[in-house]
Amino acid sequence: MTMELSRHWRLNAQRYALGGVECDGCGARYFPPRAVCPRCGSRSLHQARFIGNGLGQVYSYSLVHEAPVGYGDHAPYPVALVKLDDGPVVTAQLTDVDPADVQIGMRVEMVTRRIKEDGDKGLIAYGYKFRPMLDPRRVEVPA
Amino acid sequence: MREVCVLGIGQVPVQELWDKSLRELAVASIVAALEDAGQPAVEALYVGNMLGGELTGQAHLGALVADFAGLAGIEALRVEAAGASGGLAFRLGYLAVASGVHDIVLVTGVEKMTERLDPEVTAALALAHDGDFETFPGATPAALAAMIMQRYIHEYGVARGDFAIFPLTSHQNAVHNPYAMYRKALTREFYDKAEMTAAPLNILDCSPTCDGAASVVLAPAQVARDLGRPVVRVSGSGVATDTIALHDRADPLWLAAAARSAALAYQQAGKDPAEIDFFELYDDFSIMAVLALEACGFAARGQGVRFAHEAGIGLDGRLPICTMGGLKGRGNPDGATGVYQIVDVVNQLRGTAGANQLDCRVGMAQAIGGSGATVVTHILEVEK
């Protein structure tokens, strides 16, 4: 069991809100944040606390059968490279989807989910996953 | 810079070696390499290793291995760049001799992976990637390669089964290598029925975890000439890096660091791809072999699989690859692999490759760390 409390805490903005940065020099957007822009060399980047609205599309995907320690309960699980509408590409699990239905180009949206359990007594870490974008016409809005 | 040659080689058979410790494996390969080199006085030892700390609970391998090889006192250190660790250790050894700082340098690659269960080994190998933003979300090394493969299939319309030529070739070449883990040929039928590791990648697209160690002795080329020994010269050496995370690449289907490190090696050696007689490439996953062929100028973009089928990558093909079994057939003891690749090149150039012997003069080896984040390329030539 490893606690790593500060590590999880430090990444809250990324894990729960896809917090990235935008370069003041060239406008490039990065997730996760960087101190130096690899494109223009600028050291001036400002926080873009919510990179977009968490919408994107699947650039590629896989179905993980051989899972590492802490992930076995979910296997097999789909992972994807998700190209966010706001630019950066994010590596994340897909959720609420039949793996057979996953396709390149599929529209997805970010949700917060349980990612990893550290044994029976350890920390449960949460973070972003992506699910197929809900059709807004089918969402019931309470009166 | 001085001309540098490989004066001696040594390796232990790649296996699940339950009865051997990390230090015993390293020392066995060193003893063999020094014997092959004629017992020169070693001035420095560079140890390529990725997971000594994580899987065997042992760090500080420079001092440990030097000590147990009877070399305590010399300069010794460990080099880590994931799967490129062994290749990078060789690069440092080359630089040390080329620069004139040392005359005789020993380069050892060693990895001991079978102390732990598979999920722990998978988690350890994932250390090669971006821990917070690839590994934590749940992408394994195989899944990252699988996502490259999936997109490659999508972009270029290649059939999944057409990738089979890579593991089939490596296994075929491993049959006659006494140091290989799997000395058994594969059939296409077997490949088609193999279980998925991370779809669309199946278990036969993935190199196996195992234990192993290989060592080489580097010296000024003049030493080999004076001794009247085969002169296998290091004529090109290049290292390059790329983004650690696959998702940060402008084009995830292009191994920019492989292209760059190969270009550096070609330039130094004064060679172009057509002059390379064989290529010990890094087939940790079948798709990586394809991308390496493209990045190093052997096949056009999107044509790597077609090149393998049409030009040929077997021992009688236009570009033989993985001539002693590669990572798939010999096994992939991670940090040791880059040194095994050099041993394979030297055996081919010396004419000591046994049943797999090629008619050759120039060979290339390339080791890759992570999803192509560190790539080390070497070109070796034999003076005839």
Choose from B127, B140, B206 for mutation: most chain A CBs within 10 A.
Answer: B140
Measure the CA–CA gap between B63 and A18, rounded to whole angstroms. 44
Measure the CA–CA gap between B92 and B69, rounded to whole angstroms. 20
Residue A3 pLDDT grade (very low, low, confident, very high; cuts 50, 70, 90) = low
Residue A28 pLDDT grade (very low, low, confident, very high; cuts 50, 70, 90) = very high
Tokens of B144: 């990252």
Of B123, B130, B147, the CB nearest to A68: B123
pLDDT at A134 over 90: no
In the β-sheet with B374-382, what is the strand arrangement from edge to edge?
B75-79, B44-48, B105-112, B211-220, B4-11, B232-241, B374-382, B362-369, B278-280
Residue A52 pLDDT grade (very low, low, confident, very high; cuts 50, 70, 90) = low
- Residues in chain B where the model's pLDDT stays below 70: none
Beta carbons of B198 and A88 less than 8 Å apart: no
State whether residue B132 sits within 8 Å of chain A by CB: yes
Q: What is the pLDDT of residue A4?
A: 78
In chain B, what residues touch A66 (CB-CB under 8 Å)? 118-119, 122, 140, 142, 197-198
Determine contact, residues B33/B26, Cβ cutoff 8 Å. Answer: no
Instruction: Report which of B182, B211, B210, B212 is spatially closest to residue B11, judged by C-alpha positions.
Output: B212
Tokens of B112: 């001991």
Q: What is the pLDDT of residue A143?
A: 56
Find the closest chain A residue to B130 by CA distance: A91
Beta carbons of B132 and A104 less than 8 Å apart: no
Angle between helices B141-156 and B286-295 (to 10 degrees): 60
Rounded (10°) CA dihedral B135, B137, B139, B144: -90
pLDDT at A42 over 90: yes
> Helix/strand/coil (H, E, C) string of chain B?
CCCEEEEEEEECCCECCCCCCHHHHHHHHHHHHHHHHCCCCCCEEEEECCCHHHHHCCCCHHHHHHHHCCCCCCEEEEECECECHHHHHHHHHHHHHHCCCCCCEEEEEEEECCCCCHHHHHHHHHHHCCHHHHHCCCCCHHHHHHHHHHHHHHHHCCCHHHHHHHHHHHHHHHCCCCCCCCCCCCCHHHHHHCCEEEECEEHHHECCCCEEEEEEEEEEHHHHHHHCCCCEEEEEEEEEECCCCHHHCCCCCCCHHHHHHHHHHHHHHCCCHHHCCEEECCCCEHHHHHHHHHHCCCCCCCCHHHHHHHCCCCCCCCCCECCCCHHHHHCCCHHHHHHHHHHHHHHHHHCCCHHHCCCCCEEEEEEEECCCCEEEEEEEEECC
Tokens of B333: 């003891």
In chain A, what residues touch B136 (CB-CB under 8 Å)? 115-116, 125, 127
Of B139, B146, B151, the CB nearest to A91: B139
Neighbours of A77 (CB within 10 A): 20
Beta carbons of A60 and B142 less than 8 Å apart: no
Average pLDDT, chain A: 89
Beta carbons of A14 and B132 less than 8 Å apart: yes
Of A63, A74, A89, the CB nearest to B196: A63
Neighbours of B273 (CB within 10 A): 15
Distance from CA of B152 to the nearest CA of A (A): 9
Measure the CA–CA gap between B238 and B171, rounded to whole angstroms. 28
A65 half-sphere exposure, CB direction, 13 A CA radius: 11
Determine contact, residues B26/B62, Cβ cutoff 8 Å. Answer: no
- Residue A60's SS3 state is strand
Tell me the torsion sign for CA atoms B192, B182, B307, B340. Answer: positive
Query: A107: part of which helix (H) or strand (E)?
Result: strand A107-117
In chain A, what residues touch B137 (CB-CB under 8 Å)? 79, 91-93, 115, 127-129
DSSP letter at A8 equals H
Measure the CA–CA gap between B191 and B80, rounded to whole angstroms. 33
CA distances from A5 to A1, A2, B139 (A): 12, 9, 22
Question: pLDDT tens for residues A84-100?
Answer: 998 999 999 999 999 99
Determine contact, residues B276/B252, Cβ cutoff 8 Å. Answer: no
In chain A, what residues touch B143 (CB-CB under 8 Å)? 62, 64, 79
In chain A, what residues touch B195 (CB-CB under 8 Å)? 65
Token pair 């809005």 is found at A141
Choose from B117, B129, B133, B153 for mutation: most chain A CBs within 10 A.
Answer: B133
DSSP letter at A120 equals T
B211 phi and psi angles, rounded to 5 deg: -115, 150
Beta carbons of A14 and B138 less than 8 Å apart: no
Measure the CA–CA gap between B126 and B143, rounded to whole angstroms. 10
Determine contact, residues B99/B200, Cβ cutoff 8 Å. Answer: no
Determine contact, residues B254/B142, Cβ cutoff 8 Å. Answer: no
Tokens of B327: 């990572």
Residue A137 pLDDT grade (very low, low, confident, very high; cuts 50, 70, 90) = low
